[in-house]
Amino acid sequence: MANFQNHNNLKVLVSTPTVTGPTPTRVLTTCLEQYGVSESAPETNRRMEVLRLLQQLFRRWILQLSILQNMPRSAAEKVGGKVYAFGSLQLRVHDKNADVDALCVAPRHVSREAFFTSFLRVLSRQPQVKDLQAVQSAFVPLIKLKIDGVEVDLLFARLALREVPENLELRDNLLLKNLDARCVRSLNGCRVGDELLRLVPNVGTFRTTLRAIKLWAKRRGVYSNILGYLGGVSWAILVARTCQLNPNASPETLVHEFFVLFSQWRWPEPVLLKQAESEDLGLPVWDPKRNRLDGHHLMPILTPAYPQANSAFNVSATTLKIITEQLTIGLTVTEATRAGKCGWERLFEAPNFFSQYTHFLVLIASSATADDQLQWCGLVESKIRHLIMALEKKPYITIAHVNPKRYSSVPLNTINGQPLASLPGSPTPADPMAGIRRDRNARHVRREELHQYLPGSLLERERSAAGVRRRALDPAPAPPPYKKPKRLSHSSSDATSVSYSEDSNSSSIT
């Protein structure tokens, strides 16, 4: 075992994988297959067809737009335009329920306004497209849609180039020169993915390990950037750092080392995969010495591509505590797995959220139509993090634990429960949704009153699971496949609820 400095001047531990104790009773990859974390070849081909369709539509639209701007057809046919996949599909760790994250890159004469108006109309005319929604006010503006049942988040970036050739790579930092902040943020997803794959010592083991950690985070309720937990990029960076420190290890060992490393990490010490690049393009980079707000971040996980940013800036004191607790539990389970005391299924057991606490705050978002609900629920969800930060300041609240799952509610009984006066971050009359008929309601209830808001079948499952007091390391039951919560559509209920606990009895998970 020895240390050396890699090409990014970060210390890396070189070791050969060692096995302590018996080999785990079930191979990790076999266990992952039970949860449906990978998709079949036909399903992958369907995603590729969606990307090809987007590429064709985008190129054709740029051609027509260029001609309308009096560009000669011969020149317009050369300006190009390209659609890039990023996120889990770029890293090839997507599951069968994952969105397709795609970036449309255009030459300099194509404006953002044209993309969100003219190209939006092109998409609306396609028979395969459903649930089309432009979200221009987001931190990273995007178009949401479904193509042949595949959910797509579509971003836009305009480069300061006359042409966007088919073979253009986005790693060159100079491509960011003279771009507005929205374009830089839109490009960041692809650039971070490229750097992640370049910086890990073994892409294959990185992918298997990341699949396992993503599944674990979703099952344990700590996978949601918008609610103050960690999103896909943050978990990928943490796994990549684990791989850098254990370059020769197997996925089974890497999963264990992941929990060893980050259950003991001294936050807010930042996690980084390489030293920050000294570019001088005038873009803001994460630097707590120069930016006072950066110094308040609780869990800095820095993106490896310029401009360096904290992918976990939404983390609050409460969500940091919950994430750390889950990492500690994960360490205990993986140690038992390596000792042969249980299988990998134990790591992916979902906790019984509703049996952990006595007091709950049920947040209900409802609207008149399914189309309105699609936008309204997204807006309400984006405000929950601010509500949690307000609750953290209350001295009588021990922990405000957000449940990331979204549920369809039962018919409301508005008499029971204690209503709250207002929600932090509630829409104002100037809000773009002010004219839409919608409502949001937050009610403090006790555990025995939850049946008024949530389906009885859900609570019955929770009670049944909580009532069976298994020994800590008994083999777990066969798992159901993991299913991602679906976007609201015309077939969705007009009322959904998000619940989280207030004034906890206990924060332990058994």
101 marked as part of a ligand binding site: yes
Instruction: Please identify which of the residues 15, 78, 96, 99 carries the catalytic annotation.
Output: 99
Question: Catalytic site residue 371?
Answer: no
Do the bridges between strand 100-106 and strand 150-158 make them parallel or antiparallel, or are there none, so unpaired? parallel
Let me know: does 81 contact 62? Beta carbons within 8 Å: yes
Closest CA to 420 of 392, 440, 400: 440
372 marked as part of a ligand binding site: no
Instruction: Give the torsion sign (CA, 343, 344, 347, 352).
Output: negative
Beta-carbon contacts of 436 under 8 Å, excluding residues fewer than 6 positions away, are 367, 368, 372, 375, 376
214 marked as part of a ligand binding site: yes
Let me know: does 253 contact 410? Beta carbons within 8 Å: no
Let me know: does 334 contact 315? Beta carbons within 8 Å: no
Q: Which two tokens stand for residue 236?
A: 């990928």
148 marked as part of a ligand binding site: no
4 marked as part of a ligand binding site: no
Instruction: Please identify which of the residues 144, 214, 218, 383 carries the catalytic annotation.
Output: 214
Question: Catalytic site residue 99?
Answer: yes
280 marked as part of a ligand binding site: no
C-alpha to C-alpha distances, 470 to 331, 477, 507, nearest whole angstrom: 19, 11, 19
C-alpha to C-alpha distances, 462 to 122, 220, 355, 466, 470, nearest whole angstrom: 46, 14, 7, 6, 15
Question: Catalytic site residue 101?
Answer: yes
38 marked as part of a ligand binding site: no
Question: Catalytic site residue 214?
Answer: yes
3-state secondary structure string across 188-209:
HHHHHHHHHHHHCCCHHHHHHH
Instruction: Give the torsion sign (CA, 360, 366, 371, 372).
Output: negative
180 marked as part of a ligand binding site: no
Instruction: Please identify which of the residues 38, 95, 146, 153 carries the catalytic annotation.
Output: 153
Question: What's CA 79's distance to the chain center, in Å?
Answer: 33
Supply angle C-alpha 444, 506, 446, rounded to 5: 25
Let me know: does 104 contact 83? Beta carbons within 8 Å: yes
Instruction: Please identify which of the residues 35, 66, 82, 223 carries the catalytic annotation.
Output: 223
Rounded distance, CA 293 to CA 270, Å? 15
Rounded distance, CA 147 to CA 126, Å? 9
Question: Catalytic site residue 153?
Answer: yes
Instruction: Please identify which of the residues 88, 311, 366, 499 carries the catalytic annotation.
Output: 88
The DSSP code sequence of 414-455 is TTSSEE-S--TTPPPTTSTTTTS-EEEEEEEEEGGGGGGTS-
497 marked as part of a ligand binding site: no
Q: Which two tokens stand for residue 468?
A: 């069976």
Residue 92 gets the label, from left (phi > 0), alpha (psi -120 to 50) or beta, of left
Which residues carry out catalysis?
88, 99, 101, 153, 214, 223
What are the binding residues for ATP? 86-88, 99-101, 153, 214, 223, 232-233
| Residue ranges at the known binding site for Mg(2+) | 99, 101, 153
Task: Give binding residues as ranges.
Answer: 86-88, 99-101, 153, 214, 223, 232-233
